Amino acid sequence: PEPKGSVREDLESGLLQELEQEKRQIIEPTDVPLTNDDSSELPETSIMRIIGLGRDDEAIESAEMQVADGNDPAADTMNPAVSNEIDLIGREMSRIMQELSDGEKDPTKRLPIEPVITAAKEAVQNSPSVLQIGSSLDLYSAQKDEITAGKRPQVSASVGGGNRKFETESSGSVVSNSGAYQSRSVSASQLLFDFGSVDNRIDATDFRGKAADAELRAIKGQIFLDAISAFYEVQRSLLQLRLARENVNSRRAFVEFVRDRADLGASSAADVVRAESRVAEAMDLMSSAAQSLARSQAVYRQYYGKEAQPYALPREISVEELDFLDLESYLESHPDAVRTRLLVDAAQNDYEAVVGQQRGALNFQASMSQTKNPGSSNFLDDRTLTLNFESKLYAGGSKAALLRQSEAQLAQAKFERDRVYLDIQRNLRDAFAEYEGKLAGVSARILVTEGAENSYEISKEMYAFSRISLFELLKTQEELFSAGQRLIDSIVDRALSKYRLLHAAQQLPEVIFEG
């Protein structure tokens, strides 16, 4: 029978005081026995006295648990004050979080990062974007060769034949001639001076080729970042799904435990219903985690061409080489900044090429031809040497229009350069701020997770002896699950923030592809 009135209140007050005293004994190291001999005896706890278990009974129950579960006596022992059934609930969830915490404390326990880097590099090399930029480099090289050919001698030849009819005047009379006609000729020309038009066009094409090379470097870094992000997102989803599955198992175990208590009269039918409703909620969370995994697997296949396998979380890349005090020093070497500067130089050369072209060009020309007219049996020679300067005096306004177009393209290139500079500076500051925030967030999440684990273990013990309600126990279990989710997210986000910081400083090519 339950104690009533003041007797019950006095009993509960006394139990709370004894629990607080035992908690202080656990915290204080002087109260913990340092040896394993018979002189160090542990006092009975108040909970053990409540359920009628002394030290002799404890040994018997411990042996019974080991026989029932098939565990080795050297294995981890259960809390003697709590039933074996409830003590095992949520054990796998705690183990997942413990593995993550151990990896933070000792990174050597994690898997190596090198296989991940190698796979991401292969994904970069096989990317269509990289292959496309590589083909554009060949295009600029061919264009440069075409323009350069304009400075070399140009030689042409022609051969022709047919019928010709012409009239000549002889002794005051007109004589008509007709018959077969043949001609053959060879001509050559050499550009001597064009006010730098061809040279500027060559330089402009060369600058565009170098800009494409800088763009290729930036694209490689971006694709590598995307490939690494796809890997981490899949591992995040796998861990979240594993945690959600253990959450479902824990909720189901709670249902069985509450049913057993209800059979013994320690819990009500309403408790069973509430526990079962939490199983449905956990199933919904696991379904969402499975959908997230499917989406991340689809992105992963785009880069790696296969399904991702569970790899856990590998060791993280180092960012110690970055100068955090002067991040903007990476601005000048950033591929996007280099690309826009080169495009400005190319636009400047295009403008100067248009100006030179409108001034004219000086050419040397030589030609030799032979013709055979009707009525003639021999070829007649014709040799010509010419020094020619040609310039358009008026072209209907097209010269001024071309000049304005070149000026506008030059101005646009300069504006684009300034815009890219500002974007790079902002991205550098944002990436560094994100990295600092994620770095501090992991330590806080570990502390929160440890607190949630301790709270959950205490709540299980208290619920086993009807010290708290089922709602409070399930709440602490939900807090443990939520803490595990946030811990996984914080560790993955911190790893990704390192790669984003390296990408913002454009040090990924140096760190990954060159060393």
Query: What span, in angstroms and rounded, lies between the C-alpha atoms of 254 and 176?
Result: 120
- Segment 25-41 shows an average pLDDT of 36
Query: What span, in angstroms and rounded, lies between the C-alpha atoms of 180 and 164?
Result: 6
Instruction: State if pTM tops 0.85.
Output: no
- Segment 102-126 shows an average pLDDT of 86
Confidence band for 58, pLDDT divided at 50, 70 and 90? very low
Among 53-62, 367-376, 420-429, where is mean pLDDT lowest?
A: 53-62
- β-bridge mates for residue 163, sequence order: 180
pLDDT above 90 for 312? no
The 3-state secondary structure of 308-355, one letter per residue: CCCCCCECCCCCCCCCHHHHHHHCCCCHHHHHHHHHHHHHHHHHHHHH
Confidence band for 38, pLDDT divided at 50, 70 and 90? very low
Domain ranges of the chain: 1-42, 44-81, 114-153+195-359+395-513
CB atoms within 10 A of CB 248: 18
Confidence band for 379, pLDDT divided at 50, 70 and 90? confident
Contact by Cβ (8 Å): 477, 254: yes
Write out the two tokens for 449: 């997770």
**The pLDDT of residue 510:** 55
Query: What span, in angstroms and rounded, lies between the C-alpha atoms of 480 and 119?
Result: 35
Q: For 445-500, how does the pLDDT look when each residue is reduced to its tens digit (9 = 90+)?
A: 999 999 999 998 888 888 777 788 878 888 888 899 999 999 999 999 999 999 99
Out of 3.30.450.90, 1.20.1600.10, 3.40.50.970, 3.20.20.140, which CATH number does the structure's domain 114-153+195-359+395-513 have?
Answer: 1.20.1600.10
pLDDT above 50 for 74? no
Per the model's pLDDT, the better-predicted residue between 506 and 339 turns out to be 339
**The pLDDT of residue 238:** 93
**The pLDDT of residue 52:** 31
**The pLDDT of residue 161:** 83
Contact by Cβ (8 Å): 108, 316: no
